[in-house]
Structure 1
Amino acid sequence: MAPANRHASLVIAGESGVLITGPSGSGKTELALALMAHCTAHGRFARLVSDDQVFLSAAAGRLIGRAPPTIAGLAEARGFGPAAIAHQSRAVVDLVVRLVAAEAAPRLHEGEEMHLQGVVVPCLELAARRTQGAVFAVAARLGLPPFS
């Protein structure tokens, strides 16, 4: 299966790859940067893989994401434009975060999944543009501080 180009951001948070999807303007980049800042503040590894577009492919039953070469190492800083940032070339996707309208976001999650490139990945649907709450929901799901 050929790689799929997905409108999303991908970060490594601690030991997990987090793919953040949602419509334009929903806060994908803001959540990616906030999640990386949260991990770094708590002594955990954090790195951008790709911002705005992610090439997804399946390998050995895992979903792998990488940046298109033209945007590798860049993240959008609203009001400034693309800015250079430390990055990893690829990551296994362990969790998908779907940013949705606040009224569509469930209060509790019970085993939601997404099927991408023939691979099933756990999924959280979180309210768009509610970055701080989303950071804590992702941290709780991944067992990152302050959660165990």
Structure 2
Amino acid sequence: MAASSGSRTSARPRPTSPPNRWAPASSWACRSDGVAGPLILHATAVAIGTRGALIRGPSGSGKSALALEMMAAGAALVSDDRVILEDGPDGIALTAPGAIRGLIEARGMGILHADVTDKALLCVVVDLSREETARLPDPKEVCVLSRQVPLIHKMAQPHFAAALVQYLKGGRKE
């Protein structure tokens, strides 16, 4: 065992960094921090026309896989892995960071090019971290950038992606 050369009188200074503008997928984005401007989330987004779905969940939960299934049923990619959200007069706009625009990961295959829509308005949040068990669930909402947005939990049904595409096309009967 080596001998100590004396007691330490001061700790090494810790580096400082600017405030983090990334919101983890689990914290959600009902802003009360007073920060204005766009927010970047670890999520995936697809759209039918301008009606967008934001798919959230932990890494490896199937966000990109669900987006690929929805794209096979007619949806267009907005962004994979990171999504920019910005509140505006018409609603919350979803866009892609420039470096990943038009790219989506297909696990086991690699990064694929995809048809994209440049901008969509957030119509629904899809949460893959919780599973819906009710046959006809009550409507749920989540706060995103101080707005209430419909929330859908994951369904263990083979028609989940097709049902989400239809939701974007026509909404849900309340």
Q: Which of 128, 142, 148 is the equivalent residue of 1:99?
A: 128
1:134 maps to 2:160: yes
**Offset of residue 120 of structure 1:** 1.4
**Offset of residue 15 of structure 1:** 5.5
Query: Which protein has the bigger strand share?
Result: 1
CA contact (8 A) 2:48 2:169 kept: no
Runs of 4+ in 1 over 4 A off after TM superposition: none
Q: C-alpha distance in 1, partners of 2:124/2:141?
A: 9
Code of the residue aligned with 1:132 in structure 2: it is: P
CA contact (8 A) 1:106 1:125 kept: no
Secondary structure in structure 2 of the residue aligned to 1:138: helix
Q: C-alpha distance in 1, partners of 2:61/2:157?
A: 10
1:26 maps to 2:65: no
Q: C-alpha distance in 2, partners of 1:101/1:95?
A: 15
Secondary structure in structure 2 of the residue aligned to 1:94: strand
What's the % identity of the aligned pairs? Answer: 36
Code of the residue aligned with 2:143 in structure 1: it is: H
Q: What is the RMSD of the two structures over their aligned residues, measured on CA atoms?
A: 2.0
Q: C-alpha distance in 1, partners of 2:166/2:47?
A: 15
**Offset of residue 132 of structure 1:** 2.6
Q: Which of 97, 100, 104 is the equivalent residue of 1:71?
A: 100
1:43 — aligned with what? none
CA contact (8 A) 2:93 2:121 kept: yes
Q: How does 1:8-47 map to 2 (within 5 A)?
A: 8-13=43-48, 16-39=51-74, 46-47=75-76
Code of the residue aligned with 2:40 in structure 1: it is: N
Code of the residue aligned with 1:121 in structure 2: it is: V
For the structure 1 residues 97 and 36, does the alpha-carbon distance in structure 2 shift closer, same or farther, using more than 3 Å as the test? same
Secondary structure in structure 2 of the residue aligned to 1:75: strand
**Offset of residue 81 of structure 1:** 2.3
The range that moved more, 65-74 or 108-117, is: 108-117
1:51 maps to 2:80: yes
Deviations 1:14-42 (A, max 9, x none): 55211111111111111111012123xxx
1:116 maps to 2:144: yes
Code of the residue aligned with 1:29 in structure 2: it is: S
Q: C-alpha distance in 2, partners of 1:23/1:65?
A: 19
User: Larger Cα Rg: Structure 1 or Structure 2?
Assistant: 2
Code of the residue aligned with 1:135 in structure 2: it is: A
The TM-score, its normalising length taken from structure 1, stands at 0.79
Query: Which protein has the bigger helix share?
Result: 1
The TM-score, its normalising length taken from structure 2, stands at 0.68
For the structure 1 residues 5 and 74, does the alpha-carbon distance in structure 2 shift closer, same or farther, using more than 3 Å as the test? same
